[in-house]
Chain A
Amino acid sequence: MNTDKDAKWLDELISHSIDTTKPRFDAEEWKKKHPDALQNILSRRTKPTSSRQTNRWKLIFAHPIPSLAAAAAVTIVVTGLFLTRDGQILNGSVPELRLVAQSPTTMVSMMSLRTTYQQGGWDALDRQFRDTLNTLGPAFSNLTMDQLLESSNGF
């Protein structure tokens, strides 16, 4: 089997199937076709650029933060990464985020258990396991086999 010949045949087949000429972008044509998208891009220019953000963060990094030990305090410091010195948010408006309902099952998430251990050691983790059993079970039906069969009589 001639591999070169096959490859040439494949190239020809592809070039017939798709346009392989170098794409050319006509900005004026695009602006006429997509006025809404153009407006959207222009409005973004009013927001701070990435380099401006970085400069502000340099100011934050230089700002002394009191010594904090607990993980909760770490959260405050980390959140500070995204704030200016006077506590204002860098980019002005805060984006709206969906509210997340806290299910009791979150107490058994990897992060929840991990944070508990970080903050309170094994004793705190053990207490959380105990609370988990109190909150989440074991809880199963007290139905007897007769009751189960009775409920499925129609099948």
Chain B
Amino acid sequence: MISLSKSSFTETLFFILALTFIASPVLAIPPDPDNAALLYYQGFLTLAQLSDEARDRISHVATGETAPDDQVREDISKCVGAIEFAEAAVEVPGCHWGVRYSQGFEALMPQLARMRFLAFVLIADARIHAADGNYRAALERCLMAGTFARHVGDDTLISYLVSIAVRDLEYKCMRDIMGRAASDAELLRWLKNELAASGPVVVSPVRPMKIEIEIVNNLMQMENIEKLARVLADSDEKKVAQIVEGADEKSLERARRIYSERMNSALTVLSTPMPYEQAHSRLKRLADFDQDDPVAMAAKFFTPALDKVLSQRTGIETHANAIKTAIDVLLIHAGTGRLPDALPSGLPQDVFSGKDFEYEKTKEGFILRCRAKSLVADKIQEYEFKIKQ
């Protein structure tokens, strides 16, 4: 047995510890970002400097207006770096965009336009995969856009609307691909499971509305009168000066009260389960202000288009339900070789009416139609699924 003196033992121990510390890979390489937004921002920086025409080509392919051609394939190939960053970002659960709420309504959000464009890039790429017959890859890209939609989030009402728009783009593309892959039962079952596991369809408008209430109540204070005046008068210097000169605490207090009462009532309507038509009618009433009362009109200025917010939420939930219903119809088609004559019971419903979708077989496939119209668009929504034989 080798015996070490006390000093030799200490030196050896120190050497081993030092070696462990230096060689430790955990300490040397920091982890990747745990905030998806940081990866998306890098993706935005990597987006190619495309011409207006190239951006239009990508958006037209994404929306399904045109089929992907060689030019758009080349455009998308220039965006591969951004797509790779997005692929990494969707694996990260948390996403914080770093909105400067302290700036109130003056907060700049240049990322929103980039988000919108990145969504076009992702979905155009999905359609290129579909055109090449790679349906699984195309649907994976759609699902990725869905996670991106959730990451776009609910920091502000506009973020919320962009999130819904990205989701809508995803579903439109998914509908087209599902029709082409109608005979592939395994792929349809996989998609059904993926959608079931992907969590809620849309983020809620409640959080951004609560944030807005706080921003507006801070703005409607005498110490912020110049900022308020600039918002109300759209930076018309003469009107700004008039508002600053004439404002007093009493009027501002009343404006705050009217605004807060309406917004809090709207939050209750949006958070309470109730039929679409009933919610729409209540929100319409809340957005009705006395036009002869300038203080009420100041409150109106800051009240968002509540009926539009509701209709867009209802629309995207209905679109999601149409996709889920269609998968079940297509699974019957894949199993039996023919479409069912009627919808099976217990499938997701049209949220506008709270009833089952109206189902119509067509020469090319089938249509799922809502039974009540969107009261903002004033039309019945319908979702067509064309089956590729």
Residues on A close to B: CB < 8 A? 50, 53-54, 57, 60-65, 67-68, 71-72, 74-75, 77-83, 89-91, 93-97, 99-100, 102, 105-106, 108-111, 113-115, 117-118, 121-122, 125-126, 128-130, 132-134, 136-140, 142
Contacts and interface: CB of A to CB of B under 8 A. Distances in A.
Interface stretch (B27-35, B259-267, B289-297, B354-362): B289-297
Interface residues of B, number: 60
Contact of A94 (B110, B232, B241): B241
Contacts of A89: 242, 245-246
Interface of B: 44-45, 47-50, 52, 55, 104-110, 112-114, 116-117, 156-158, 161, 165, 226, 230-248, 250-251, 291-295, 297-298, 300-301, 304-305, 308, 312
B241 A60 contact: no
7 contacts: A54-B251, A75-B232, A90-B246, A110-B109, A115-B234, A122-B312, A138-B45
Contacts of B157: 114, 117
A82 B245 contact: yes
A130 to B, nearest CB: 8
B304 A114 contact: yes
A97 to B, nearest CB: 5
A111 B228 CA distance: 11
A64 B104 CA distance: 33
B106 A129 contact: no
B245 A94 contact: yes
Contact of A110 (B158, B242, B301): B158
B237 A129 contact: no
Contacts of A111: 105-106, 231
B109 to A, nearest CB: 6
Contacts of A68: 291
Contact of A80 (B52, B247, B294): B294
B52 A134 contact: yes
A96 B292 CA distance: 29
A109 B242 contact: no
A54 B235 CA distance: 25
A79 B242 contact: yes
A132 B55 CA distance: 12
A144 to B, nearest CB: 15
A78 B104 CA distance: 20
B250 A117 contact: no
A91 B245 contact: yes
Nearest to B110: A108
Interface centre among A79, A114, A122 (most CB of B within 10 A): A79
A67 B291 contact: yes
